[in-house]
Structure formats: C-alpha cells, structure tokens
Chain A
Amino acid sequence: MELSGSEIIAQFLKDEGVEYLFGYPGGAVLHIYDALFQADTVKHILVRHEQGAVHAADGYSRSSGKTGVALVTSGPGMTNAVTGIATAYSDSIPLVVLTGQVSTAFIGSDAFQEVDSVGISRPCVKHNFLVKDVKDLAETLKKAFYVASTGRPGPVVVDIPKDVTDPNIKIPYTHPSSIEMRSYNPVTKGHPYQIKKALKLIAQAKKPVVYTGGGVVLSNASQSLTALVQRLKLPITSTLMGLGAYPATDEQFLGMLGMHGTYESNMAMHDTDVLIAIGARFDDRVTGHLEQFCPNAKIIHIDIDPASISKTVKVDIPIVGDVDDVLTTMLEMLKEGDNHTDENALKDWWKQINQWRKKNCLKYNKKTKTIKPQYVVEKLYDVTQGDAFITSDVGQHQMFAAQYYKFDQPRRWINSGGLGTMGFGLPAAVGVQLANPGKDVACITGDGSIQMNIQELATCLQYRLPIKIINLNNRFLGMVRQWQEFFYEGRYAMTYMDSIPDFVKLAESYGHVGMKVEQTSDVEDALKEAFAMKDKLVFLDFIINREENVYPMIVAGKGHHEMQLAPDSELV
C-alpha cells in the first residue's frame, strides 16, 4: 500500500485501534486533516481549545485504560497543549500527542507558528520525537504508542513537520505489528525473593497499613489488591489518585490519607510498624513533614518505576515491577502454609483504628439552610447510586468530592492530582463520556475552575454529551481563600471574583440546560431532575456556603498525628 505521510497517520491510527482523536486544526496539520477527512478512519472530536483536546484524550484514557490521542497544530496549538501534556505526565497517563510543525526546511528560522515543540515539551513528556523523514513516520508512531502505554505510562509527543505529511510523496506502508527498542525495556515482574521478604515482614507486623496510589489503577490491579487486602484483613488507605482501586464502602478502607485525609488514615499512618506502599510515590501532600512520616515503620514499596523507590522516603523492601503482577504473585505465595499475619496483633490494631474512626472526622452540619458542598457531593452519590464517573477540577470541591463520593470501582474518579490543573474537569468529562456512552458522568467543579475551560461546553453540544456539571459556587477561589484565612490573617488577596457569569444563562446560551440551586432542601430534587435528563447536559449551579473549609487538614510542616479537625466537629 503506497500512502502519503498524512494518509499513513490516518491509516496507522485505525490499525492501532484508536477510536477517538481529540484535536483542533491549523496550518501545519492541514494535510493530516485532509487525509483524516477522506479516509474517515477515526472519529475526530473537535474541541474549542488545544488544552481541552489533551485533557479530553486524558479523560478518555483514565476512564478506559486505553491510550488517549490528540492532534494539534504547530506553534500556539502546541503551546496550548502543554498544560494538558504536563497534567498527564504528573499522573502517568498514557497519551500520544501529535503536534504539527513547520516544514523541515523552515525549522529553526523563526517561521510563522514555529516553536521548538520537542524542546518545550521535553521536561513534561515521557519521551518525544521529531519525525524528519516520512520513511520514519510509521515506526515512530509505533514507538510512541509503545512507550506511552508500557512501564510507567506517560504522554509522548510526536512532532511532525508539514512536508513529512505532503500528500504528493507516497511511500509503501505496512502497520508495524511490534517494536523493539534496545534502550527501553521496562521491568514488569517483581523479584520473587523481594516479594517473599515482604510477605515475611507483613507476617510479623503488629500494625500494618496498606497505602495505595494511582499506580494500582494504572496497572488494573484492583482485583488482586482487593483479594490480597481482604485475605490478610489489612487496613488500607489510598491517595487521591488511587481512589476506587479498593472499594471505599468496604469496612477495611480507612478513607483517603494525607493533607485532607481522614483522621483514622493519618493516625494509622503515624502509628504503623509496617507500611505497604503500592503504586504510590510518597508525594508531599501525602507524607506531610518528612521527618515525622511513619516514624516507626519498616516500608515495603511496590512500584514499576525504580526512580520512585527511595526518592523522598527511604524504603526497606523495594519491589520493582508491575503492581498487578507483584500482587498476583503474592497471592499465589500465600497459598502455601498459614500464619501470614499476626492475628492477635491485628485484632488489637483494628480496635485502635475503630477508636479513631469514632471521631467521625468527616461529619458536618447538614441542617443548614445554606447549601454545604459536602451535602451536594453526598446527595450526588445517592442519586447516582455511587455508580457515576466523576471528573473534578482543582480546589476545595475536588477535596469534597474525594472525601464524600465513595468510589467502589477504579477509573471512576478522574482528577488532576499531581499537577493540580484547574480547568481539567470539563474537557476530561468529554473524553470520559465518549469512552463510556450511556453512563452517568458528572464534573464536580467550582466557579473558579469551570471558567478556565468553559468553552468546551460548545464541544459538549456538538457531540451531544449529556455531562452533568456540579458547580459548587462559593464566589471565591475557595482553597486559596482557605489558606489566606488560616495563614494570611484573612487577607483575601484576589480570591474574590466580583463578576461571575450567570451560569444558568451561560449554559443556555451554549444550548444546554442550566439550573440554579440555592437551598439545601432543593439539592436532591435538582440532582434527580438533572440526571433524569439522559440526553442533556445540565449545568447545576449550587450556591454554597461561602466560607466553608476543607477538614480535616494537616498544616504544612506537621505530622500525620497532628491533624486539625473541623472546629465545630464536636457540636454536630
């Protein structure tokens, strides 16, 4: 088959099984768009901003487990995409981002819409390529998909100069079925000796805690994790990124840990003697003050990335390998013999944990007339029967979502945990809804975040995506305001937005349904009404309590045992 560079791209995406391509056209990618138009090999989703394209591809990937693909033009198209790429990089999401580039003859001449895409993206990609010859195109694309989706996943940028996609230059094409790279051989199998050592340590533990992260989701290890944790009756906590990997409604689950984690999780972390870290990376929002982190614990760390091991916290038993593979091996080893845990010690440990649980650290006053954001999330959980895909933006609403929506399944909780990108939620929901047609998809957001990619409401109409937007509107940049209240004596510098759009009218002007909800008593009915509209995007603008704070909280520099609970937590 003789194809041009642009036809190769169209054909390759089909051969690779790509379902959706999220993109935005421009000069440098005109040939590619023409080939896509004619070949009709993949469904192209036209976003309204390149950042939205990458977030949508990202949401598609997070919710489906497949590699997300985006296509943007050179120059500003590429620079707009960078925030999306960096977001995916921070959370290890497999993406292939195709960026147009000026023709090879013009590279380096400061041509119109030229930027050094490889240079700009280098620190926030797993790898990137510049294709200088159409003969290298198919193989490079194959490498990009391979690198993005294997090992510790991540985004890969392929920069494609316009002349490489010239429709008049045709070369033979076959889809490369596999690829080998001498310099890239990710380890997947954990070392059996290390795994045995870990099991031995767990058997001696008096106060073990399992601490899981996004790696468990990425490795599709929910089943093996759940089996192992339930078999050994271990307490388990999760990072923001790992939520859903272990069912949140199970009684062995202690809730999220870290800065806004539960009291029981963080106290257990502080007191544990054997910490089993799985697909987690000891992020500063999790560890708090490093010197007070798990002061009495021996640490087992399972991770596919050797560079994650002992990066900030020194571990005792490292196991480099794919999480699911390692956990499955552990389960197999457990078949031999008994006494895999110290049952008596565990009983005492659970007694202690249940004591901490009695603090009921997430309780809040539900009887206020003004809407509490926590209440909205709880009702959302009820109305969707805990079965929705939830995307979120970044801020207080994100923490409330993580705390009050109990995720029982992986890939249901879609948020920018690592980079903390405001404006992620709505475009991500576009990808999530496309990957999961017919499923409830809600974007929990705030009046600050939603305005950062509000233009994607138009994309939602074009493709009839019935996303439900849960806008927790406090007329503040709530998380920053909370920090200003706590640490800057209440000087609310630039966290109040004096002119906020009428979101109901705004939703309507984009062709959607808008609803404003101002009283606690209306929350549930409004949600029911919205989710009953199966074919409509509904923008629910919840006017919430203005100065609600996220609790519990570990203030910077404090240890896990020094949590601050809600001031009125004893009263309600």
Chain B
Amino acid sequence: MENNKSMRHIISILLENESGALSRVAGLFSARAYNIESLTVAPTEDPTLSRMTLVTRGSEEIIEQITKQLNKLIDVVKLNDLNINGIKHIEREMMLIKVKAPAAARDEIMRLITIFRGNIIDVTDESYTIELTGTSDKLDAFIASLDCDSILETVRSGVMGIARGTYSLHI
C-alpha cells in the first residue's frame, strides 16, 4: 500500500440496538488488528437503533477497509466517516474529574474551571467534582493545567461526533 500516512478518523455508526452488536464491532477491530482510540455508544431517539462513535487511526487504505468491513456486519445499518468527502464536523467529549480542593487551592481551581467553562457538580470539604465538555484536546489541556497530585479520579466519555449543517446520519 502506497499511502502509509496514518490519519485519525471519526466513524459514526447506526447499528441495531441488540445484544451482541457491540461485540461484533469490537471483535472486528481486534480480529483484523485495527486500532480503536475511543468508542462510545448509546441508543438513539429510535430505541431500536444505537449510535456509535468510533475513533480510529490508519492509512487511507486501512480506513477504507475498516468502513467496508463495518458495513458488512449485519447489525450495522449505516455509517459515516466524518473525516472524508469534505464533511465538516463537530466533536465533543465529556469528562468528569474529581480533584482535591483544600481551602487554600479553591480560588485557583475555580479560576481554571471558569477559563475552561466547566461546572462544579459536586462539592465536599476536600474535593470538587467538575464536569467539562469540549474537544479531547481541551480536556487534555485542563488536566495538564492541574497539579497532577490533586487529581483523584477522571472519567471520560470518549468522542462523540456529528456533521455540521443539515448533513445527517439517519435511516
């Protein structure tokens, strides 16, 4: 294969909301040695369908094979690669992060939360739990801005993606 440049692709998938559907997608990636950077899935407004956002990396040829192999799965109803054909897209990830918040550090943490437009969703005498949404980069930047000893716990949703404009993935 000529083009070995590895590109990050966000693939949006509508799949049957059935038990086993997720394992078929995950199994395909491990069986064919494709990588998954993140994967997020939940039912849509139509409860028979799930929407999955899968972030992967590969050369043009690999990504083409990935989308073809995904399409071959019987449970996959439809999919879009959000990084091709000039599609413009928006991506978001949510993070919940619990940090130590002793009285002396609270002002500084509050300032950071304001800068990153996060919300405090739980408070104790010693901790803040913060909700933050944005691109993965932004979440990384927030973590980097904190003193790493102060982080008690993080949980991230994985990337969700959607195309700009009226272009949409539906059946």
- Contacts from A to B (Cβ < 8 Å): 118-119, 122-123, 126-128, 130, 147, 181-184, 305-307, 309-311, 314
B64 in complex: contacting residue of A123, A183, A310, CB < 8 Å? A310
- The smallest C-beta distance from B92 to any residue of chain A, in angstroms, reads 27
Q: Kindly list 10 other residue pairs between chains A and B, CB separation below 8 angstroms, not including A305-B72, A314-B1.
A: A123-B27, A123-B31, A130-B19, A130-B20, A182-B77, A182-B171, A183-B74, A307-B69, A310-B61, A314-B2
A314–B64 Cα distance when bound, in Å, is 12
> Is B55 an interface residue, CB under 8 A from the partner?
no
Residue in B closest to A127 when the chains form the complex, CB atoms: B74
> Is B24 an interface residue, CB under 8 A from the partner?
yes
> Is B132 an interface residue, CB under 8 A from the partner?
no
- The smallest C-beta distance from A480 to any residue of chain B, in angstroms, reads 26
Q: Which of chain B's residues have a CB closer than 8 A to the CB of A128?
A: 20
> Is B71 an interface residue, CB under 8 A from the partner?
yes
Q: Which of chain A's residues have a CB closer than 8 A to the CB of B68?
A: 306-307, 309
Q: Which of chain A's residues have a CB closer than 8 A to the CB of B19?
A: 130
A310–B15 Cα distance when bound, in Å, is 25
A314–B69 Cα distance when bound, in Å, is 16
Residue in A closest to B64 when the chains form the complex, CB atoms: A310
Q: Which of chain A's residues have a CB closer than 8 A to the CB of B1?
A: 314
A310–B65 Cα distance when bound, in Å, is 8
Residue in A closest to B32 when the chains form the complex, CB atoms: A123
Residue in B closest to A313 when the chains form the complex, CB atoms: B1
- The smallest C-beta distance from B134 to any residue of chain A, in angstroms, reads 33
- The smallest C-beta distance from B23 to any residue of chain A, in angstroms, reads 7
A126–B72 Cα distance when bound, in Å, is 9
A216–B27 Cα distance when bound, in Å, is 30
- The smallest C-beta distance from A44 to any residue of chain B, in angstroms, reads 29
Assuming the A-B contacts A122-B27, A306-B71, are A183 and B16 also in contact, with contact meaning beta carbons closer than 8 angstroms in the complex? yes
Residue in A closest to B77 when the chains form the complex, CB atoms: A183
Q: Which of chain B's residues have a CB closer than 8 A to the CB of A123?
A: 27, 31
Assuming the A-B contacts A122-B27, A123-B31, A307-B69, are A183 and B75 also in contact, with contact meaning beta carbons closer than 8 angstroms in the complex? yes
Residue in B closest to A184 when the chains form the complex, CB atoms: B74
Q: Which of chain B's residues have a CB closer than 8 A to the CB of A127?
A: 74
Q: Is the CB of A311 within 8 A of B65?
A: yes
A122–B28 Cα distance when bound, in Å, is 9
- The smallest C-beta distance from B133 to any residue of chain A, in angstroms, reads 31
Q: Is the CB of A126 within 8 A of B61?
A: no
- The smallest C-beta distance from A150 to any residue of chain B, in angstroms, reads 11
Top 3 closest pairs, chain A to chain B, by CB:
A307-B68, A183-B77, A127-B74
Which of B2, B19, B72 neighbours the largest number of chain A CB atoms within 10 Å of its CB? B72
Q: Is the CB of A181 within 8 A of B27?
A: no
> Is B76 an interface residue, CB under 8 A from the partner?
yes
Q: Which of chain A's residues have a CB closer than 8 A to the CB of B74?
A: 126-127, 147, 181, 183-184
Chain B residues numbered 81-122 whose CB sits less than 8 Å from any CB in chain A: none
Q: Which of chain A's residues have a CB closer than 8 A to the CB of B16?
A: 183
Q: Which of chain B's residues have a CB closer than 8 A to the CB of A306?
A: 68, 71-72
Q: List 7 A-B contacts (CB under 8 A).
A: A119-B23, A122-B23, A122-B24, A183-B74, A184-B74, A306-B68, A314-B2
Q: Which of chain B's residues have a CB closer than 8 A to the CB of A309?
A: 68
Chain B, residues 51-64, CB within 8 Å of chain A (1/0): the string is 00000000001001
Q: Is the CB of B72 within 8 A of A183?
A: no
A184–B2 Cα distance when bound, in Å, is 32
Q: Which of chain A's residues have a CB closer than 8 A to the CB of B65?
A: 307, 311
A305–B31 Cα distance when bound, in Å, is 19
Q: Which of chain A's residues have a CB closer than 8 A to the CB of B15?
A: 183
Residue in B closest to A122 when the chains form the complex, CB atoms: B27
Q: Which of chain A's residues have a CB closer than 8 A to the CB of B76?
A: 183
A92–B65 Cα distance when bound, in Å, is 19
A183–B74 Cα distance when bound, in Å, is 6
A182–B76 Cα distance when bound, in Å, is 9
A307–B23 Cα distance when bound, in Å, is 20
A434–B50 Cα distance when bound, in Å, is 45
Q: Which of chain B's residues have a CB closer than 8 A to the CB of A314?
A: 1-2, 61
A311–B69 Cα distance when bound, in Å, is 10
- The smallest C-beta distance from A303 to any residue of chain B, in angstroms, reads 11
A50–B46 Cα distance when bound, in Å, is 41
Residue in B closest to A147 when the chains form the complex, CB atoms: B74
Residue in A closest to B15 when the chains form the complex, CB atoms: A183
Chain B, residues 21-37, CB within 8 Å of chain A (1/0): the string is 00110010001000000
- The smallest C-beta distance from B78 to any residue of chain A, in angstroms, reads 8
- The smallest C-beta distance from B126 to any residue of chain A, in angstroms, reads 41
A570–B29 Cα distance when bound, in Å, is 50
A306–B76 Cα distance when bound, in Å, is 15
A309–B71 Cα distance when bound, in Å, is 14
A147–B74 Cα distance when bound, in Å, is 9
A147–B19 Cα distance when bound, in Å, is 18
Residue in A closest to B48 when the chains form the complex, CB atoms: A182
Residue in A closest to B70 when the chains form the complex, CB atoms: A307
Chain B, residues 1-21, CB within 8 Å of chain A (1/0): the string is 110000000000001100110
- The smallest C-beta distance from B149 to any residue of chain A, in angstroms, reads 42
- The smallest C-beta distance from B50 to any residue of chain A, in angstroms, reads 12
